[in-house]
Structure 1
């Protein structure tokens, strides 16, 4: 029975929750509960702050406060005389009590919750300012209609006072929102990068091939996820507060208008969601095709010399053109569906501009409400309509966001922090190399490379692996390193930290010459004279002078020949002086003199090694030969015995 894929909400919660709360049973619901309690606490804080300001104004400027906010003074007084203060006290005390109960889970996430609290407090303040401005606008409009010059000037002054308060709040709100998003991105990137490199997940997903463009997912998808998630969270909470705040205002002006906005918004949301479902898949494909197109361009840059030698400009341009065609084809479908959606959303957004006035014409012309009431009702209708129509107004962003969530969640599933051990070749630590009935398959299980290979090497013997191309020589080294585990049997080897692996094409990191020699233990402090001595040992003594010193960081892969790169990699090995080395054609680009010199250095230092190669000269530096013959056949013999047929020939 096929496994049902997780819902979008479950995917989102799996990625977003750990920033605020650890993955525990019911952790998602606990996170939502804590956010709701935080909102209640902040609402209580604002209520206390507003009540304090009103009480202070009424105490020091009673006449002015009564003229400007007489209704608010009465509301605050009634609230405290009716026992409503108990509700506010509960909104403050209960969240503090419950948060303290989860302090063990939240200790490592204190900064995240503090930043979220500041952002939400500012968001609530912005909503409160909008509510206040709606009342100021109502009274200001009525004073104009009544030609009450004194009150008109008074409310202009109140407007300016509101601006002085509101401008820094709104500006600081935007800053703190972006700051929280930056911190969230920093945390998520650290988590994903850590899991990407943990347990060699980066190698597994590259070998598996099911996850495309992990670089884009770490860089762009995480940035988009944190930014958009935070924006949606604040839009959602802001819309909720607008809905609560302005529905009361709308209800006081016209109950019919409340019913109209609810029916209109719900119907529009359902239709938009139905039309927009197709956009999720199209946005997902667009992200993938854009990343594939970019990767093709980067691939050309990384292999420019090889392409030039092959004169492969035509096929490369054709490959890039094919990928760009996929980008354009999918984008054509995407903008077509966006056009269809725009037909509906545009019409849907125009009608509310006049709908409240049409409904309130009757009460206004009959004298039941004033013009300012109608203006305020229209403003409240717009706010409630906007809150209820969140999906309609954000549908394109939501579909793009949903595609990004799917890409991130599949990536997170592919790089688990704790990868369960797979059945196959087992690795055991030992003080020597040994293989016990090892059978090695390719990662796709389609080809058997080696069958029932058993051998043991003591510390005095060095092994060379030979055989035709494609029989699995390098694959055997991957099995020794624990990279390929398909098959069966046991690999006994020293701990990986005691083994140094040298591939045929050395890895040249982005860094200085000093870093090249110290890699992968860049934290080690090694004197320049020691680095220079090692470079002389591998016949690269003039390299620092050529490159401008040990701290220059050019593109080493382009500047050095393959032979120089192989000698530099040997210098890296000599710096670290491991007990064991595994060399995969690590001298294939060197002349006989340099090859002999480097293997002689390994013997002098007492480094035990296994080599893979085709050159007959390699036999001079080894004691045993493992010959892979193809079709999973093999034999291991001493070097003199292996040489006999060659000598006879």
Structure 2
């Protein structure tokens, strides 16, 4: 594949661009054709690939040989018909010509088959290799933090196959056409050295012109890939966020974004059409001129009877085939610009995947130790770029079977601590002790819904687990999704789950996975934010029954009911760890729920004025065992309607003071009383 790769760069950088291209090609093709590392490819597979390649080369050589042979047969065919006028000899020669054409046809078919088979095998291997890099060591996650690598999904799905098919197509065509041009040049040389020298000089000049024309096309092809990738991403973005766009009625703005990216494709296409117009004119004109040479030089020789008509015809045919081969070679040079672009982007992507999975040098990282408990030992966590400290000198241990609730202002790193536990972020210092990740189940705020059946949704990530339909139905009942089966045709039905399930149903489905998996440790990142309090209470109670050790991130005060400890993160990277009761007492003193005139409300109904709860100015001071609905609204986060509803149903409410209250329906009381 030599001369097809001329990078779209200034002339002064042409050589360096050429060298860089070959470095990219070697990085991509080397492990397949000449593996140097153990385990890259099985030796038998390498031998098979080389065997197929050698077979392709032999088929191409045979094809060129048969084409040259047919040119001689055609020459003798003309001689027997025009000069010798021997019909029987003509028929014999014609039979040989027909056999030769049949062989040429078979060789063309088999050579293309072998070429495509090699390309397919190479594509399969290369795709698996890049996909392994993408999914190993969480490179698929880390690559998103690289702004210089765009659209990894398109690079995987659309830009690998063209590399192998283009490489084999160009290589086979290059070998075939060079052999054809050499063969026909020799044939012409035997007939007329003058024509052969003209063809040789003409070929050299033409290739220089073709290389110049292809420089612009290479740049255009590179931009075409990028513009199409951006356009496809915009369309995918609309599909993934269809509901949000519909709520905002943002169709016009989305259309503008899509049209803006599509206009880039159109402008690029217009530039490409203009460049290809010049290339086509040059290519066709280049071939046409070659076909004139033999007649200009050989016609006088034929008129003077210095050559026969068969030689004239053979020379004309050879020049015509030479021109055709050269034209196809020029076209391959033009289309090779796309191959160059694909190769550059894939090499860049492959290098980036390797780079993001490397452990950075000369930077401090949190040391992770796998044991059967969870603890932070003097951990200072930073953002991956080391520009911001999230939490400083954190030391705590979560006891087996207990629950830890992480709270704090938005953006202060609550979810970042979970990323550290998962091994996604490790910038900082200290030691993190955690169980093996196989024993930990993560439930994010936006549950991950896989592409699969309902059974696979419930069993994820261990989809090979065996559970009966009855067992799965019981799990759905536990998470209040028993009606889900009535909306689909059984557990083995695959539907677009993200479209048919609400966010709350998706969160309950995630909890169902927890009940199926029974992990030793569970991490919940606002995993009940879309649920009502009743569903949240039911799910956390079932979580507690599993005896799992769990850590939650959340803002709801109702979460205090299900955890023993609270880790509060502050704006200045400091932290405090207290038990739930002490934390509630701390926050009770800071509750601000007063009327706008900022006066104190004192309810003093305790016998003998015992047990008063003092609140700050602008805060309610409660000193009674009985409270009205309005007073309970001050002491809780519930709405008046919820308070009345829970009171009529006899349900309890946990107040901001940490105490639990129930409504006394006795006609003589009719108040909320502390339990």
Distance 1:338-1:485 versus aligned 2 partners, 3 A rule: farther
- The residue number in structure 2 matching 1:65 is none
Match runs of 1:82-97 below 5 Å:
none
Q: 2:77 aligns with which of 135, 140, 152?
A: 140
Report the Cα distance in structure 1 between the residues aligned to 2:42 and 2:243, rounded to whole angstroms.
54
TM-score (norm 1): 0.83
CA shift digits 1:111-146 (9 cap, x unpaired) = 322332333333222222211211111111222221
Structure 1 residues 313-348: Cα deviation after superposition (integer angstroms, max 9, x where no partner): 122111112211222233333333333444433332
- Matched residue SS, 1:235: helix
| Residue 360 of structure 1 pairs with residue 301 of structure 2 | no
Q: Is the Cα–Cα contact under 8 Å of residues 22 and 105 in structure 1 kept in the other structure?
A: no
* Aligned match of 1:495: 436
Provide the residue aligned with 2:555 in structure 1.
614
1:582 match: secondary structure: strand
2:28 alignment partner in structure 1: 15
Aligned to 2:336: 398
For 1:14 and 1:387, the matched residues in 2 are separated by 31
Structure 1 CA distance for aligned equivalents of residues 402 and 546 of structure 2: 14
1:370 aligned onto 2:318: no
Query: Retained in 1: the 8 A contact 2:283–2:327?
Result: no
Pick aligned residue for 2:484 from 506, 518, 543: 543
Which residue does the alignment assign to 2:500? Answer: 559
CA RMSD of aligned residues (A): 2.4
| Aligned 1:237-248 pairs, distance under 5 A | 237-248=175-186
User: In 2, are the aligned partners of 1:125 and 1:169 still within 8 Å (CA)?
Assistant: yes
- Matched pairs, number: 569
- Contact 2:442-2:522 at 8 Å conserved across structures: yes
1:292 aligned residue (227, 230, 238)? 230
Q: Are 1:206 and 2:153 an aligned pair? A: no
Q: In 2, Cα distance between the equivalents of 1:616 and 1:115? A: 68
Structure 2 alignment gaps of length 5 or more: 1-15, 592-675
Match of 2:259 in 1: 321
Identify if the C-alpha distance between structure 1 residues 617 and 314 changes in structure 2 by more than 3 Å, giving closer, same or farther. same
Partners of 2:301 and 2:307 within 8 A in 1:
yes
Structure 1 equivalent of residue 48 of structure 2: 111
Distance 1:279 1:140 in 2: 44
Contact kept in structure 2, 1:199 and 1:418, CA below 8 Å: no
What TM-score do the two structures reach when normalised by structure 2?
0.80
Q: In 2, are the aligned partners of 1:266 and 1:388 still within 8 Å (CA)?
A: no
Return 5+ residue gaps in structure 1 as ranges.
26-103
2:573 to 632, 638, 641: 632
Q: Measure, in 2, the Cα distance between the counterparts of 1:419 and 1:215.
A: 18
1:266 equivalent in alignment to 2:207: no
1:638 Cα shift? 1.6
Deviation, 1:550, is: 0.3
SS in 2 for 1:449: strand
Cα distance in 2 for partners of 1:116, 1:555 equals: 44
Residue 158 of structure 2 corresponds to residue 220 of structure 1 = yes
- Whether 2:273 is the aligned partner of 1:335: answer yes
* Structure 1 or 2: more helix by fraction: 1
- Structure 1 CA distance, aligned partners of 2:303 and 2:578? 108
Q: Which string of whole-angstrom CA distances, capped at 9 and with x for unpartnered residues, describes residues 232-287 of structure 1?
A: 11112212332443333222112222222221111111122123212222211111
Secondary structure in structure 1 of the residue aligned to 2:576: strand
State the 1:592 CA deviation: 1.8
CA contact 1:250–1:257 (8 Å) conserved in 2: yes
CA contact (8 A) 2:287 2:327 kept: no
Q: Given the superposition, is the C-alpha separation of residues 171 and 529 from structure 1 closer, same or farther in structure 2, using an over 3 Å criterion?
A: same
**What is the CA–CA distance in structure 1 between the aligned matches of 2:523 and 2:459, rounded to whole Å?**
18
1:526 Cα deviation after fit: 2.1
Quickly say closer, same or farther: Cα 1:607–1:394, change in 2 above 3 A.
same
The answer to whether structure 1 residue 312 and structure 2 residue 247 are counterparts is no
Taking a change above 3 Å as real, the CA distance of residues 505 and 106 of structure 1, as seen in their structure-2 partners, is: same
Which residue of structure 1 lines up, in the alignment, with residue 3 of structure 2? none
C-alpha distance in 1 between matches for 2:343 and 2:171: 15
Which one has more relative contact order, counting CA pairs under 8 Å at least 6 apart? 1
Matched residue of 1:551: which SS? coil
2:518–2:548: 8 Å Cα contact kept in structure 1?
yes
| Mapped contact 1:195–1:417 kept (Cα < 8 A) | no
Q: CA deviation at 1:196?
A: 1.0
8 Å Cα contact 1:432/1:458 also seen in 2: yes
Per the alignment, residue 462 of structure 1 pairs with 403
Contact 2:407–2:566, Cα closer than 8 Å, also in 1: yes
Q: Does 1:510 align with 2:523?
A: no
Moved more, 531-540 or 552-561: 531-540
Worse overlay, 500-509 or 271-280? 271-280
The worse-fitting range, judged by mean Cα deviation, of 310-319 and 153-162 is: 153-162
Report how far residue 445 of structure 1 moved. Answer: 4.1
Larger Rg: 2
Which residue of structure 2 lines up, in the alignment, with residue 63 of structure 1? none
Summarize deviations over 1:294-316 as a string: whole Å, max 9, x none.
11111111211110111111221
